[in-house]
A and B are shown apart, each in its own frame.
With several copies, the nearest count.
Chain A
Amino acid sequence: MRKIFFDHISTTPVDERVLEAMLPYFREYYGNPSSHIHEQGQYALRAVDGAREKVAGLIGATPDEVIFTSGATESNNLAIKGVASAYAHRGKHIVVSEIEHFSVLNALMPLMNRGFEVTYVRVDETGLVDPDEVRRAIRDDTILVSVMHANAEIGTIEPVEEIGKLTRERGVLFHCDAAATGGKIPIDVNRMNVDLLTLSAHNMYGPKGVGALYVRDGVRVDPLLDGGFQEKGLRAGTENVPGIVGFGKAAEIAIDEMDADAERLRHLGKALWDGLARRVEHIHFTGHPEKRLPGHVSFWVEFAEGESLLIFLNLNGVMAASGSACSSNLKAKDEEELVASHVLKAIGVPSDICTGSITFSLGKWNTREEVDYVIDIMPGIVKRLWDISPAYADYIRQQSGGQKS
């Protein structure tokens, strides 16, 4: 059976060139960058610094402003908690959008227990944050605004430049979670006026276990992990050298290929969107129709439950996600709250006819043929679920003027 991976938003395959770049750092150059009096450590140190330049280059930063972490979750936690701790004397108010990733939203919880206040800025039905709402939310004691670059579940790209402009005017720090966009669409920390920016390697054809936090020169962040003097003292712990090298290589490749890839993905995404719109009844697309991640198509179908759809898709070789990867985590203790994601709620999706959106997120190796295949199988899968759905039966009865049995 053909296998079609349409779940690049949860993670991406590692580019073979990235893996090739990493391999020597498992085999020949296994040193610890902190033990760099000798040759092995020196190779490792140079490799890390080389990767730092590349990652900095991807976002228009200087290498000194890039802190390597274990991933986007850590970067978000470091940004939120680190700024909160370093600037608590100035104020204890933080503004975020209501559709931030859990690693931003949940990082705020311990802060709220310590007296911080949070204003959640609403989004419209396409998932867009209104910069004016951000402006209104900023108070005299606001120290930080955090708005993501793009939302993974619904694909909407936020107006971060405008938000950056106004936070700069108001003298408030601006953090942007770019886990979903890094390496996929252009990022320029200066044009965006961001002070902190989260990147994730495994979302851009790099390895898992590595991320970065851009910290603008002069911005203070208290470390989350105390210990050695790595990463300018902002992130202790022996560096994940092969992972960082892989991240660097992924950044280098992205700089070269991002634009062409994005163009292709935009076309494929449009073909998928249009095909589904034509072939699947009762489909509702989520997110903004134009301001969205290239190759990202998200939607929900009335009377069809998300997980069941995903399982049938998988039985047909198609891998997709139900919104954010977390939402499909069956290990969660409290499943109830995961059913309709906070993102869907925020964009006003009616929870009585929708449980879970489907996110098709395409990657650089997906083809038009795969898109056509998925368009072809969707109607049949949806039909199967409708056939056993009590609500759909009621709906049909209603349409034909019948009665609920």
Chain B
Amino acid sequence: MSIGPYSQKVMEHFMNPRNVGEIEDASGVGEVGNPACGDMMRLYIKVEDGIITDAKFRTFGCGAAIASSSMLTEMIKGKTVEEALKITNEAVAEALDGLPPAKIHCSVMAEEAVKKAIEDYLQKQKEKTGE
């Protein structure tokens, strides 16, 4: 069902978000947004041999923010780090069958969250190598 301004796909992910939670021994964590601005997304990734084998999230925010997070985790799982870095906000929005104009920033957050999580992963890798 579609409700309000959202596509059926958005609603589906909003009502049944995939991959909610945390990864205990995450390879990288990305956090974007800030509750004061209405939304905050925290993304956990597990990377093995350069491939994202697991992803989980917690998000505080509107329907689009939750659905974007959920969709993002689905999209990056199984991808290489390089592939994941190429995911654009447009791709997330498109996978959700579109977002209302005022909600585009939610898909931008998703894009930023994966970039940050990968950055964190690479940083940790460097630290490990550096040791």
Contacts and interface: CB of A to CB of B under 8 A. Distances in A.
Direct contact between A and B judged by beta carbons closer than 8 A? yes
Interface of A: 36-39, 41-42, 303, 305-308, 311, 314-315, 330-333, 335-336, 339-340, 351-353, 355-356, 385, 387-393, 405
A42 B39 CA distance: 23
Interface centre among A307, A333, A391 (most CB of B within 10 A): A307
Interface of chain B: mostly helix, strand, loop or mixed? mixed
Interface stretch (B28-36, B46-54, B85-93, B116-124): B28-36
Contacts of A392: 60
Nearest to A356: B38
B58 interface: yes
Interface centre among B17, B26, B38, B101 (most CB of A within 10 A): B38
A393 B37 contact: no
A346 to B, nearest CB: 16
A303 B60 CA distance: 7
A388 B14 CA distance: 11
Interface of B: 3-6, 11, 14-15, 17, 20, 22, 26, 29, 31, 34-42, 57-63, 65-66, 100-103, 105
A331 B101 contact: yes
Given A311-B6, A388-B58, 15 more contacts: A36-B5, A42-B3, A42-B4, A311-B3, A330-B102, A355-B39, A355-B61, A385-B60, A387-B20, A388-B20, A388-B66, A389-B58, A390-B40, A390-B41, A390-B58
24 contacts: A37-B4, A41-B4, A42-B3, A305-B65, A306-B62, A308-B63, A314-B3, A330-B4, A330-B5, A330-B100, A330-B101, A331-B100, A332-B102, A335-B105, A340-B38, A355-B36, A355-B39, A385-B60, A390-B40, A390-B42, A390-B60, A393-B22, A393-B58, A405-B26
Contact of A353 (B3, B11, B20, B35): B35
A393 B56 CA distance: 14
A352 B36 contact: yes
A402 to B, nearest CB: 12
Nearest to A310: B4
Nearest to B20: A388
A333 B39 CA distance: 17
Nearest to B44: A405
Nearest to B29: A405
B103 to A, nearest CB: 6
A388 B61 CA distance: 10
Contacts of B100: 330-331
B38 A339 contact: yes
Nearest to A385: B60
B31 to A, nearest CB: 7
A41 B4 CA distance: 8
Given A351-B36, A355-B38, A390 B102 contact: no
A390 B17 contact: no
B38 A305 contact: yes
B35 A391 contact: yes
Contacts of A339: 37-38
Contacts of B63: 307-308, 311
B15 A315 contact: yes
A356 B58 CA distance: 19
Interface centre among A330, A333, A336, A340 (most CB of B within 10 A): A330
A355 B14 CA distance: 18
A392 B63 CA distance: 17
A335 B57 CA distance: 24
B3 A39 contact: yes
B3 A352 contact: no
Contacts of A356: 38
A306 B65 CA distance: 12
A353 B31 CA distance: 17
B39 A305 contact: yes
A36 B59 CA distance: 23
B60 A311 contact: no
A330 B40 contact: no
A336 B5 CA distance: 18
Contacts of A336: 37-38
A330 B59 contact: no
A390 B36 contact: no
B29 A330 contact: no
Contacts of B37: 336, 339
Contacts of B38: 305, 335-336, 339-340, 355-356
Nearest to A322: B62
